[in-house]
A and B are shown apart, each in its own frame.
Chain A
Amino acid sequence: MPRCFYLPAALLPSSACADYRWNFPEPVTPIARDTLHIHNEFMLIITALFVVVFAIMIYSMIAHRKSAGRPPARFSGPAGGVQWFWVLVPFAILLLIDFVLMGIPAYRAVVDMEDTRTRADMVLKVTGMQWKWQYEYPDSGIKYISTMSTPREQIGNREAKGEHYLLEVDNPVVLPVGKKVRILLTSTDVIHTWWVPQFGVKRDAIPGFLRETWVRIEEPGTYRGQCAELCGKDHGFMPVVVRAVPEAEYLAWADLKKAEQAAAAGGTDRVWSRDELLVKGKDVYAKQCAVCHQANGQGLPPAFPALSGSKIVAGPLLSPAGKLMKDSHLDRVLNGKEGSAMQAFGNTLSDTELAAVVTFERNSFGNTGGDLIQPAQIKSLR
């Protein structure tokens, strides 16, 4: 009977909390521990309900089978006070389960989960975009993009899959252990959902709005999750990786990251050679653009147009007066295209990265524009 299948399903969570395969992964935040506790309690309750109810039914199936030879009864409702009492008892029990046994712990957990503002030690801003995450630390001015680092060869089964297949990124989020982190979420294009199972936190990132949640990570370690809301073709390929470290290590990391960022932004004050731009542009293209426009620039028309031989890419870079032209190549890259998956990269990439990738696109995939643009020019156009 189906019951045999279901029993282990519900019993195991309570007996094997730490077992990754059968239940929530090991919780590392107060919320996740709460959630796991509630989940285990609820699973016990519903398993008990299931067993009791269907034990009665199966007893009836056996005892009241026709071949047992008793004539069927004719009753069609409770008769008399005693029967009414027994009919109402199950509902009293269910009321108790719904609104007391389950309802009260659930109430507390909800209030706790939504308490993002009390004593928050720091803020992390998460921005979802097709198909990567941007992380921003407003306190220290750090801001970077995190994309999946699993090679496409592994996904296409041309290479052996690594240990953290699909759950690895180039730039993980780094957070200090033991601090209450208020997380603000938004998106630049469609709805994404930021989810790390071990944090017990899952919240939608909605374009044009801010949502919030919070974590206090108790154990140092690397925690992995994924986007949980269907967000287009590479929904399955935008993992979340969080590295939780002691506070001192976090501060050191933040200093290093700030210095790195300053160095990268520093490119605007000098003139870049064509080769320098092409090398950097190739790197940026592979990370930001190749998902849609493909590594060979052929795109996936009609949703993702080809850059190779594109009229827009072949068009003039700037107006004769040196101004940004509407619907030009540069305009598309900086401001995106409304109603399509093309994002406004002006918001997410540095001046140098933008100059490099635009130069790269105009001189690759058979495009022979020959022209280039300097990071300083991008800076002045903003």
Chain B
Amino acid sequence: MSTATTAGRDARPPAHGGRYRGGILRWLTTTNHKDIGTMYLTFALLMFFVGGAMILAVRAELFQPGLQLMKPEFFNQLIGVHALVMIFAALMPAATGFANWQLPLMIGAPDMALPRINNWGFWLLPPAALLLTLPFFLALFGIGDGAVATGWTLYAPLSVQGGIGVDFAIFAIHLLGVSSILGSINIIVTLFNLRAPGMTMMKLPLFAWGWLMTAFLLIATIPVLAGAVTMLLTDRHFGTHFFDAAGGGDPILFQHLFWFFGHPEVYILLLPLWGLVPHVVATFSRKPIYGYKAQVVSFIAIGVLSVIVWAHHFFTAGMPVPALLYFMYSTMSISLPLAVLFFCWIATMWRGAITFETPMLFALGFIVLFGVAGLTGLVLADVAADAQYHHSYFVVAHFHYALFAGGIMGVMAGVYYWLPKWTGHMFSEKLGKLHFWLTVVSFNLTFMPQFFLGLAGMPRRIPDYALQFAEFNAISTVGSFILGLSQLIFAYNIWRCVKGGEKAADKVWEGAEGLEWELSSPPPHHSWEIRPNFDNR
């Protein structure tokens, strides 16, 4: 694919003969966007179960007051690594997997613009995941005291004080960051240069627009995180005092740097899914997407706002009143572009002809539950009320509504939506629906009680709690185990679909629109070698 500069017009990349290595070497060396997409998605699913197993151990410990299963040190390691794994090794790779598989199909490009970088972007992930989890195993052999135990936020000076797990986490974050930046560059270059002839930016599929904003946000914020953890590393080992007041530093500096990355990170995770959901809703409502331009503008507005609101993550750290007010009002203003998205999603359904296949169910579940996250986010923005919510289980519930219901369930909508296209087989609709209902019921059973725990005053990240919190914690633990086990249905359904099943049509869903549905299911290994013409669409 050396034709990146001219491919936007009429270039036709030379057709390859099938010269592929077999076995593991094929996957190590592949530069094909479909292979790499598959690897990202498989890796994400695997790490989803790894991160899930960690948190089920935590929920088991929290089933009853008292310490039953583990020491507080180990508990702290599990919660932090759970978050890092779920965010960086499950949710982000899943979205990147979607981008790899779908962007070239949706914009009529033969592949991603930078295929070798694409390969490297993926293969940085397994070593990073290994670095994150290795300290658990090293501790078994008496080396170090386990994985990073500071929570995923790595706040200094706790992280300066921590063991070798922190160093492993720092290097894992560097690798994950490089991988994300490479992926982002690739996506931006692809979307700018490889669109089908006639596909202007304002004809780009919304999914591509969502990813484009994510890619820009990653490039803007990952270097800040990389800088922050590098300063942490030098504070730990080379005698600097960036975060130590005794040497003229400031622990709160770390929080500013971390959340300058951390807040946009939420939108980095969610924007691709906000781009995806309109496609699903439109398909199953058999109607065009409502308010395309408004949604594009909202994506851009959210992207810009996301980098100027970070300090609402540490209102309790103390700051001047004008700063408090600024961060409060700017945070509240994010509700406006988000409301545009909600409005458009519902308006897309309005007067359609709606059916409720599994992808649509997940999209609807996403919209409703993400609504809970959005609305509770609005009250969290209020500084005075935040003094109660902050660091409590209210926040834990809020961001799981955002990142499980908004993130993971959005990914599931996408997987069910595109899986027949990727594999050429239909999945079991019956199992898909069972998976949806079990997930949505047990998710609420897990996290709704956590809102009340937070209101009643239970801080987050504690391995043991006062007796007044016992009932809700027990309910939450029961819910979490149903939630975790239900995901096995998801994995099984995917496995069955890959292996075989009813043949999928090229246009899998009756109401689907877009270039990807004009290809066969599954698409040929090299697709769109002849560029589709988009002039008259």
Contacts and interface: CB of A to CB of B under 8 A. Distances in A.
B328 interface: yes
Report the contact-size class of chain B (Cβ under 8 Å from the partner): 35 or more
A20 B72 contact: no
B455 A24 contact: yes
A99 B329 contact: yes
Interface in B146-187: 149-151, 155, 157-158, 160-161, 163
B379 A39 contact: yes
Interface of B: 65-68, 71-73, 76, 144-145, 149-151, 155, 157-158, 160-161, 163, 236, 244-246, 250-252, 285-294, 314, 316-318, 321, 324-325, 328-329, 332-333, 335-336, 339-340, 342-343, 346, 349-356, 364-365, 367-369, 371-372, 375-376, 378-379, 382-385, 387-388, 390-392, 440, 444-445, 448, 451-452, 455-457, 459-468, 511
Given A50-B371, A66-B355, A190-B161, A154 B66 contact: yes
B290 A113 contact: no
B336 to A, nearest CB: 6
A98 B374 CA distance: 13
A339 B244 CA distance: 10
B459 A195 contact: yes
A2 B385 contact: no
Top 3 nearest A-B pairs by Cβ distance?
A208-B245, A109-B384, A236-B462
Given A233-B73, A236-B465, A50 B375 contact: yes
Given A208-B251, A235-B72, A64 B382 contact: no
A94 B72 contact: no
Contacts of A111: 321
A38 B385 contact: yes
A76 B289 CA distance: 6
A226 interface: yes
Interface stretch (A3-11, A119-127, A326-334): A3-11
A322 interface: no
Interface in A7-25: 9, 13, 20-25
Interface string A231-252: 1111111000000000000000
A382 interface: no
Contact of B285 (A64, A106, A113, A212): A64
A85 interface: no
Interface in A44-94: 46, 49-50, 53-54, 56-57, 60-61, 64-66, 68, 70-77, 87, 90-91, 94
Contacts of A22: 452, 455-456
A78 to B, nearest CB: 8
15 contacts: A21-B452, A22-B452, A24-B388, A25-B457, A60-B352, A72-B352, A76-B289, A98-B335, A106-B383, A106-B385, A109-B384, A155-B66, A157-B66, A207-B157, A303-B73
Contacts of A66: 286, 353-355
A161 interface: yes
B66 A203 contact: no
A285 B324 CA distance: 43
Contacts of B445: 5
What DSSP secondary structure best describes chain A's contact surface?
A: mixed
A121 B465 CA distance: 34
B467 A229 contact: no
Contact of A228 (B158, B333, B459): B459
A91 to B, nearest CB: 7
A64 B351 contact: yes
A347 to B, nearest CB: 13
Contacts of B324: 110, 114
Contacts of A165: 65, 466-467
A54 B365 CA distance: 11
A339 B245 contact: no
B349 A110 contact: no
Interface string A133-167: 00000000000000000000011110001011111
Given A65-B353, A109-B383, 12 more contacts: A20-B468, A22-B456, A75-B288, A102-B382, A112-B384, A113-B383, A161-B66, A166-B464, A202-B390, A209-B250, A232-B76, A236-B72
Nearest to A54: B368
Interface of A: 1-3, 5-6, 9, 13, 20-25, 31, 34-35, 38-39, 42-43, 46, 49-50, 53-54, 56-57, 60-61, 64-66, 68, 70-77, 87, 90-91, 94-95, 98-99, 102-103, 106-107, 109-114, 154-157, 161, 163-167, 189-191, 193, 195, 197, 200-204, 206-209, 211-212, 224-237, 300, 302-303, 339-341
Contact of B343 (A87, A106, A167): A87
A94 B157 contact: no
A22 to B, nearest CB: 6
A228 B396 CA distance: 13
Contact of B462 (A13, A208, A226): A226
Q: Among B291, B293, B349, find the residue whose CB has the most chain A CB atoms closer than 10 A.
A: B349
A77 B286 CA distance: 15
Contacts of A300: 73
A157 B467 CA distance: 13
A225 B388 CA distance: 11
A39 B250 CA distance: 32
A53 B342 CA distance: 9
Contacts of B387: 31, 35, 113, 200-202
Contacts of A20: 456, 468
Nearest to A46: B375
Contacts, number: 307
Contacts of B451: 9
A197 B388 contact: yes
Nearest to B342: A53
A42 B375 CA distance: 9
Contacts of B392: 228
B292 A76 contact: yes
B317 A102 contact: no
Given A24-B388, A61-B354, A70-B353, A98 B332 contact: yes
Nearest to B157: A190
A154 B536 CA distance: 74
Contacts of A1: 368
B383 A72 contact: no
Contacts of A207: 157, 245, 251
Contacts of B286: 66, 72
Given A165-B65, A191-B158, A236 B290 contact: no
Q: Among B71, B287, B335, B368, find the residue whose CB has the most chain A CB atoms closer than 10 A.
A: B368
A50 B372 contact: yes
Given A64-B354, A166-B466, A200-B387, A230 B342 contact: no
B145 A156 contact: no
Contacts of A113: 383-384, 387
B318 A203 contact: yes
Q: Among B244, B291, B448, B455, find the residue whose CB has the most chain A CB atoms closer than 10 A.
A: B455
A155 B464 contact: yes
B428 to A, nearest CB: 21
Contacts of A235: 72, 76, 461-462
Given A54-B368, A230-B461, A73 B343 contact: no
Contact of B325 (A95, A107, A161, A232): A107
Contact of B163 (A203, A225, A302): A302
Contacts of B149: 232-233
Nearest to B360: A61
A42 B379 CA distance: 6
A165 B292 CA distance: 56
A157 B68 contact: yes
A206 B253 CA distance: 12
A102 B332 contact: yes
Contact of B155 (A49, A57, A167, A230): A230
